[in-house]
């Protein structure tokens, strides 16, 4: 029963774990290693990072029989077929991009406020905080997303388009204090054995360490590692072992060796997508560059790499993740659990926290008073001295404070798929943030509470059925109040509504997951519909609602999908829902069983016969789903994306006859919905016209 | 002035009759404004992009009507659905024919209970007309109602109640 067609929410869940809740590994490569790869691939524009980036998705670029063993907090070891990581540039580089954009924004902010102080137009990039501190930046630009989606809709269609939209919203490499998913977990230095010395490596590391990292980022938690590239034809492994030992003894870091062999001319090539895990801005930049250079060189989104090198990189990364990354995360989690979490949970810890709460409240009111009297300088110096408390000016907890560490602990255990433990940790630390009035942390932790709870419920192997009371609790005590609260915080308190948009879209997909997993779509259907409509309104408020929008179209499509998948039929009766025979009229008994004109029988030709779907009358929402699909089609007609329209028409075939395009001009034999003053009639005529013009030109 | 769209839907989800009209009562807030001059009393004021989806809105609400018909013994199902500011009220006859009324709530200063009562009364009277139509030996169930007499009578009822 695959009707209506659309993105499977479990795929969305998997992408969420791949693109958002996966370890971020930053890479810094030496110039010589870049040159080495460039010479092998015959491509002067490629960097080592670009080659490594796709391999982060080890579900797609896997090795045979790969399995990643993860031990959770209960010391139960499970193996997973994939454990994706994200490769990004090193932290100083990521921060410099972030800081330049924020400084330019604050400049533009100040200029707009001085020149046009009366202007009431709200630019999404101009975000200010009510407290007068440093502004927090938007997660993404809605206008850029719209531009990108319109561009993507030229090439990709079907359910891929919604997936692309979803991926772009959830993919980000922005470093913020209040969530640590984008804080690098490991830093890898890549050097070339032939041309780089241990001294140059030492210099790279020292330079990296000397960078003034933000106060919320703890560099001691970073796993530092080295990849050594070498030509196995030129050097023996003994030389490499010596070099590795030298690195270990002098620099005290581990290293892995990657043999790079000059490929033979007949070596087969492997295609790698270089757009894996790219953000909206990166994509737009790439598209702009491609358009500029389209006249000279036809550029593609793929690079080709010799098979021998491809398999070596895959194997070495698998080894690194299994041998270094996962154990590092597990050790840190255990350490923080012992040092920070357990004392907090203990009786003494609770008593202490109560007393601290009273103390902190006083501190807060002092801070607030300071804020009110515009003595920000005084305020920030206060908060810096007291490293444990929240810095109201720049919205962060100090890296050594329990609040920041426990948040990191919860985030890391979520990455290691220990969702229940993550949920209990988030829930525990939430109170502290609320007491400190660290609103941005509160909103973010509320988001993570819902996400970890829903991830735990939809985890594979979780075969327990869900009872009504649990459902009610999840919905009324957690999801609804938290979403209301965090939307208010992100939107009104902090003016960063894109964060709440991301949260809502993630939660919609997870709710769809739980709906399919336990056949409880009837329970969550109205909530999902409400959130989707809220999203549409939010996007409409920002973009012009009179012009056609690709974002609105994909959201309408998702609404159609949600309602199409919604059934009020219990699991045992699901077989009554026969999509192939839905809404067909049953043949009258007399025609099937009895011979016509039998004596004594009278066959009434005007008698109404029930349809085949009588048993599920009122238990589906196909007709409601169709109207949303129609509205989506309307947007695509304005944008002239014929393939997407044809795909969406397939999703309303159960309700409206979409095959008879020929007789739409025959007035006597026309269906009511094919009238030329109605939307579907208009759509059909549009497609008819398109098909006749394409056949005539062909 | 609120605009209304009434449709009678047969047992095969096929529309038998449809009419658009607007409130005949002068709106207290716009009696002296220029807006009333441009609008003819009784003519629906739906925007073009709403008008082209009105039958689809009525059709989509059938899902809810099918569902809610089991939870009440009344023929009048009351307010069943709403779609982008349009409210949908429904009535179901003994023969499983549905009356669906979609209307926008703009400018109606009256409370919704009063509205619902009026709509219920309107539906009952339309049902009377429909039953009379059924009594016609030349009329078959699920055929379109094309009688001008029926049309005029429905419009008179609309004028009476809205």
Tell me which chain B residues have a C-beta less than 8 angstroms from the C-beta of A685: none
A619-653 pLDDT tens trace: 899 999 999 999 999 999 999 999 999 999 999 98
The answer to whether position A304 is within a domain reads yes
Which of A608, A619, A623 lies nearest to residue B60, judging by beta carbons? A623
Q: Are strands A186-192 and A223-230 parallel, antiparallel or unpaired?
A: parallel
Q: Dump pLDDT digits (tens) for A522-547.
A: 999 999 999 999 999 999 988 887 78
The domain that holds B35 is classified in CATH as: 3.30.450.70
Block residue for tokens 């444990």: A388
Q: Say what the pLDDT of residue A3 is.
A: 84
pLDDT digits (tens, 9 = 90+) for A265-289: 777 888 888 888 888 988 898 888 8
CA distance B155 to A422: 63
Query: B62–A623: do the CB atoms touch at under 8 Å?
Result: yes
Q: From the list A568, A608, A680, which residue is nearest B11 (CB)?
A: A608
Among candidates B51, B57, B140 on the partner chain, residue whose Cβ is nearest the Cβ of A627? B57
Residues A501-512 pLDDT 10s: 999 999 999 999
What range defines the domain where residue A291 resides?
A: 9-90+184-326
Q: Beta partners for A272?
A: A303
User: Is pLDDT of A377 > 60?
Assistant: no
Domain-embedded: residue A541? no
**Sorting pLDDT into bands at 50, 70 and 90, what band is A362?**
very low
The pLDDT of residue A360 is above 70: no
CB A506 within 8 A of CB A170: yes
Minimum Cα–Cα distance from A533: chain B residue:
B84
Lowest-confidence segment of A370-379, A537-546, A553-562 by average pLDDT: A370-379
Residue A126, Cβ neighbours under 10 Å: how many? 17
- Cα separation of A253 and A232, whole Å? 23
Interface mutation target, options B10, B53, B54, B63, chain A, most CBs of A under 10 Å? B63
Q: Which residues contact A417 (CB under 8 A, 6 or more apart)?
A: A17, A70, A72, A78, A80, A459
Q: What is the pLDDT of residue A607?
A: 80
Number of domains in chain A: 1
| Ranges A142-151, A204-213, B29-38, B102-111: which has the least confidence | B29-38
Residues of A in contact with B59 (CB under 8 A): 623, 626-627, 655, 673
Task: Supply the range of the domain harboring residue B47.
Answer: 3-161
Number of domains in chain B: 1
pLDDT value of residue A665? 65
Looking from the CA of A323 toward its CB, the CA atoms found within 13 Å total 10
Question: Measuring CA to CA, which residue among A426, A421, A386 is closest to residue A406?
Answer: A426
Which pLDDT tens digit goes with each residue over A413-449? 999 999 999 999 999 999 989 988 899 999 999 999 9
Please indicate, yes or no, if residue A46 is contained in any of the structural domains.
yes
More confident residue, A2 or B89: B89
pLDDT in tens, A596-613: 566 777 777 778 888 878
Closest to B140 (Cβ–Cβ): which among A585, A606, A630? A606
Q: Which residues fall within 8 angstroms of residue A214, CB to CB, at 6 or more apart?
A: A95, A175, A177, A396
What is the reported pLDDT for B59? 94
Query: Is A605's Cβ below 8 Å from some Cβ in B?
Result: no
- Cβ pair B70:A679 closer than 8 A: no
Average pLDDT over residues A24-51: 89
- State whether the Cα torsion A452-A453-A459-A462 is positive or negative: positive
Q: Residue A629: its pLDDT value, please?
A: 95
The more confident residue out of A544 and A30 is A30
- Domain presence at residue A344: no
Q: Is A591 exposed, middle or buried (0-12, 13-18, 19+ CB in 10 A)?
A: exposed
């Amino acid at each position: 029963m695959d009707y209506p067609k659309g993105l499977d929410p479990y795929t969305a869940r998997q992408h969420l774990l791949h693109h958002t809740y996966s370890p971020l590994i930053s890479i810094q490569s030496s110039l010589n290693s870049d040159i080495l790869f460039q010479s092998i691939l015959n491509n002067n524009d490629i960097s080592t990072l670009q080659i490594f980036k796709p391999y982060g998705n080890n579900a797609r670029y896997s090795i045979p029989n790969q399995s990643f063993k993860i031990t959770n907090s209960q010391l139960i070891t499970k193996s997973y077929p994939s454990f994706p990581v994200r490769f990004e540039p090193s932290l100083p580089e990521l921060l410099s991009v972030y800081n330049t954009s924020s400084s330019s924004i604050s400049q533009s902010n100040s200029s707009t406020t001085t020149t046009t102080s009366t202007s009431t137009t709200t630019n999404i990039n101009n975000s200010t905080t009510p407290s007068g501190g440093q502004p927090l930046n938007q997660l993404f630009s809605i206008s850029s997303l719209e531009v990108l989606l319109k561009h993507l809709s030229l090439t990709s269609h079907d359910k891929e388009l919604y997936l692309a939209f979803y991926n772009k919203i959830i993919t980000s490499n922005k470093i913020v204090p209040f969530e640590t998913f984008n804080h690098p977990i490991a830093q890898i230095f890549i050097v070339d054995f032939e041309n780089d010395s241990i001294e140059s490596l030492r210099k790279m590391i020292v330079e990296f360490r000397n960078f003034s990292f933000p106060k919320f980022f703890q560099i001691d938690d970073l796993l530092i590692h080295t990849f050594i590239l070498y030509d196995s034809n030129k050097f023996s492994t003994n030389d490499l072992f010596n070099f590795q030992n030298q690195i270990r003894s002098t620099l005290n870091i581990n290293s892995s060796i990657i043999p790079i062999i000059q490929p033979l001319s007949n070596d087969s090539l492997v295609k790698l997508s270089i757009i894996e895990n790219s953000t909206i801005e990166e994509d737009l930049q790439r598209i702009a560059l491609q358009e500029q250079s389209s006249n000279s060189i036809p550029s593609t989104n793929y690079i080709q790499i010799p098979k021998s090198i491809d398999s070596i990189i895959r194997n070495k990364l698998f080894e690194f993740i299994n041998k270094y990354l996962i154990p590092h995360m597990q050790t840190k989690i255990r350490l923080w659990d012992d040092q920070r979490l357990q004392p907090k949970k203990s009786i003494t810890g609770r008593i202490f926290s109560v007393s601290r709460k009273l103390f902190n409240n006083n501190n807060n009111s002092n801070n607030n008073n300071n804020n009110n009297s515009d003595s920000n300088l005084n305020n920030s110096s206060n908060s810096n001295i007291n490293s444990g408390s929240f810095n109201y000016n720049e919205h962060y907890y100090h890296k050594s404070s329990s609040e920041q560490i426990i948040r990191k602990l919860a985030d890391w255990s979520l990455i290691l798929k220990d969702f229940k433990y993550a949920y209990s940790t988030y829930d525990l630390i939430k109170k502290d943030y609320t007491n400190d009035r660290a609103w941005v942390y509160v909103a973010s932790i509320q988001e993570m509470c819902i996400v970890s709870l829903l991830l735990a419920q939809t985890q594979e192997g979780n075969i327990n059925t869900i009872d009504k009371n649990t459902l009610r609790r999840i919905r009324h005590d957690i999801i609804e109040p938290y979403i209301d609260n965090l939307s208010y915080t992100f939107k009104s308190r902090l003016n960063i509504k894109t964060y709440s948009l991301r949260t809502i879209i993630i939660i919609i997909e997870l709710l769809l997951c739980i709906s399919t997993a336990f056949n409880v779509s009837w329970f969550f259907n109205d909530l999902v519909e409400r959130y989707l409509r809220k999203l549409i309104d939010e996007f409409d408020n920002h973009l012009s609602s009179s012009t056609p929008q690709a974002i609105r179209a994909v959201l309408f499509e998702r609404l159609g999908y949600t309602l199409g998948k919604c059934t009020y039929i219990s699991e045992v009766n699901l077989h009554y829902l026969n999509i192939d025979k839905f809404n067909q009229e049953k043949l009258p008994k007399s025609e099937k069983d009895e011979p016509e004109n039998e004596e004594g029988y009278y066959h009434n030709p005007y008698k109404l016969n029930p349809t085949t779907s009588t048993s599920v009358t009122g238990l589906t929402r196909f007709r409601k789903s169709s109207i949303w699909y129609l509205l989506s089609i309307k947007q695509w007609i304005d944008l002239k994306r014929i393939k997407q329209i044809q795909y969406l028409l397939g999703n309303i075939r159960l309700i409206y006859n979409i095959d008879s395009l020929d007789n739409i001009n025959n007035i006597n034999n026309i269906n009511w919905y094919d009238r030329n003053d109605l939307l579907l009639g208009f759509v059909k005529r549009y497609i008819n016209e398109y098909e006749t013009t394409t056949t005539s030109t062909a | 002035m609120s605009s209304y769209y009434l449709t009678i839907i047969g047992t095969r989800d096929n529309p038998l009759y449809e009419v658009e009209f607007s409130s005949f009562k002068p709106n207290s807030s716009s009696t002296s404004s220029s807006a009333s001059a441009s609008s003819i009393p009784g003519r629906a004021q739906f925007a073009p992009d709403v008008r082209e989806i009105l039958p689809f809105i009525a059709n989509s609400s059938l899902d809810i009507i099918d569902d809610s018909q089991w939870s009440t013994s009344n023929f009048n199902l009351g307010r069943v659905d709403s779609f982008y500011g349009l409210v949908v009220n429904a009535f179901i006859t003994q023969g499983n024919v549905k009356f669906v009324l979609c209307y926008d709530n703009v400018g109606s200063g009256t409370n919704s209970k009063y509205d619902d009562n009026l709509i219920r009364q309107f539906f009952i009277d339309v049902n009377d007309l429909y039953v009379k139509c059924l009594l016609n030996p030349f009329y078959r169930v699920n055929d379109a109602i094309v009688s001008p007499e029926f049309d005029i009578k429905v419009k008179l009822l609309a004028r009476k109640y809205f």
